Amino acid sequence: MDGHLPKSVAIIMDGNGRWAQARGYGRTRGHREGAKRVDEIVTECCELGIPYLTLYAFSTENWGRPPYEVSMLMRLLVQHLRTMDKKLIRNRVRLLAQGSLERLPYFARVELKRVMRTTAIPEPKCHLNLSLSYGARQELVDAARRLAEKVRDGELDPEQITEGMLRDHLYQPMVPDPDLVIRTAGEFRMSNFLLWQIAYSELYVTDTVWPDFGVEAFHQALDAFGRRERRYGLTSQQQCLGPVYARAGFVRSADSTARTPLEL
């Protein structure tokens, strides 16, 4: 495999319906086939040593789909959780979830919590972060509300709010910003996914629909990532002069751990 590997990968899994339609199947068949790819890609991340994988499984906008399809997706989620927990434990994968999880049906929340609790092991090889009932705009609204509550209660002055503080109030602040975002099925849009976290992510779009996105296709995406130069707003020459110690666009000041803007 060419180049270096990302530490954190996010995937917009698109094309289940199109895969099924092209073969004359119902959409349910496409979603079931797509679930198989989840197992394969999670296993491959473990094999390669990629410690964080975030999957866009169900968006806030997906609630607007026909009720029968939403119901089927929730049942499929529970079925998959019931069969994947032992494999996650065997591969030392910890399951996380992010989104407006309270909107999920009760039976889905119960199963999700069970698997997250069962896989909460020390020093996992990989963290699998499922984005369920997830919308990036709502995530930012929720983070802003929590900060506003602290200001209201006198715990925080508005002037004290920093980029890092806002990030700490996102759904899963422990998950690093994705180095690589993969979107299947050829669509060139982010679809309300990780809008804060992807500020400096590398994007990879493939025409391959998700049910056909196997290990070989994943390796192609990783190879493309490994050949890219990540400059974070700097020039290539500046990148060679020394490390950037904080998130993209910032360096640590000499007298504190606070982030200060780079003078470009």
Task: Work out whether the CA dihedral 179, 184, 188, 192 comes out positive or negative.
Answer: negative
CA distances (Å), 118 to each of 82, 122, 128, in order? 11, 11, 13
Answer yes or no: do 246 and 259 share one domain. Answer: yes
CA dihedral angle for residue 133, residue 104, residue 17, residue 126, rounded to 10 degrees: 70
- Examine residue 67 and state whether it is found in any structural domain, yes or no: yes
Residue tagged 């169900």 (tokens): 58
pLDDT digits (tens, 9 = 90+) for 55-74: 999 999 999 999 999 999 99
Which residues partner with 203 through β-bridges?
A: 181
Separate counts of helices (H) and strands (E) for the chain: 8, 8
Does residue 177 have a pLDDT over 70? yes
CB 65, CB 133: distance < 8 Å = no
Answer yes or no: do 240 and 205 share one domain. Answer: no
Q: Is 2 a catalytic residue?
A: no
Lowest mean pLDDT among 99-103, 227-231, 256-260: 256-260
Length of the chain: 264
Phi, psi for 203 (deg, rounded to 5): -105, 140
Indicate left, alpha or beta for 206 from its phi (over 0: left) and psi (-120 to 50: alpha). Answer: beta
Residue tagged 């959780």 (tokens): 81
Burial 43-69 (b: 16+ CB within 10 A, else e): bbbbebebbbbbbbbbbbebeebeeee
Question: pTM, whole model, 2 decimals?
Answer: 0.88
- Examine residue 32 and state whether it is found in any structural domain, yes or no: yes
pLDDT digits (tens, 9 = 90+) for 9-46: 999 999 999 999 999 999 999 999 999 999 999 999 99
Instruction: Give the domain range for residue 252.
Output: 231-264
- Examine residue 135 and state whether it is found in any structural domain, yes or no: yes
The pLDDT value recorded for residue 233 is 76
Does residue 100 have a pLDDT over 90? yes
Mean pLDDT of 232-249: 60
CB 31, CB 62: distance < 8 Å = no
- Examine residue 1 and state whether it is found in any structural domain, yes or no: no
Answer yes or no: do 49 and 95 share one domain. Answer: yes
Answer yes or no: do 30 and 47 share one domain. Answer: yes
- Examine residue 2 and state whether it is found in any structural domain, yes or no: no
Answer yes or no: do 171 and 262 share one domain. Answer: no
pLDDT digits (tens, 9 = 90+) for 182-213: 999 999 999 999 999 999 999 999 999 999 99
Mean pLDDT of 111-124: 97
Answer yes or no: do 64 and 80 share one domain. Answer: yes
- Examine residue 137 and state whether it is found in any structural domain, yes or no: yes
Neighbours of 103 (CB within 10 A): 13
Q: Is 62 a catalytic residue?
A: yes
Question: Which listed residue (2, 16, 62, 207) is catalytic?
Answer: 62
Q: In the Cβ-directed half-sphere of 96, how many Cα atoms lie within 13 Å?
A: 19
Mean pLDDT of 232-251: 58
CB 209, CB 19: distance < 8 Å = yes
Answer yes or no: do 170 and 252 share one domain. Answer: no
Does residue 230 have a pLDDT over 70? yes
Does residue 258 have a pLDDT over 60? no
Computed over every residue of the chain, the mean pLDDT equals: 90
Task: Work out whether the CA dihedral 164, 261, 182, 71 comes out positive or negative.
Answer: positive
The pLDDT value recorded for residue 231 is 76
- Examine residue 3 and state whether it is found in any structural domain, yes or no: no
The total domain count for the chain is 2
Mean pLDDT of 202-229: 97
- Examine residue 114 and state whether it is found in any structural domain, yes or no: yes
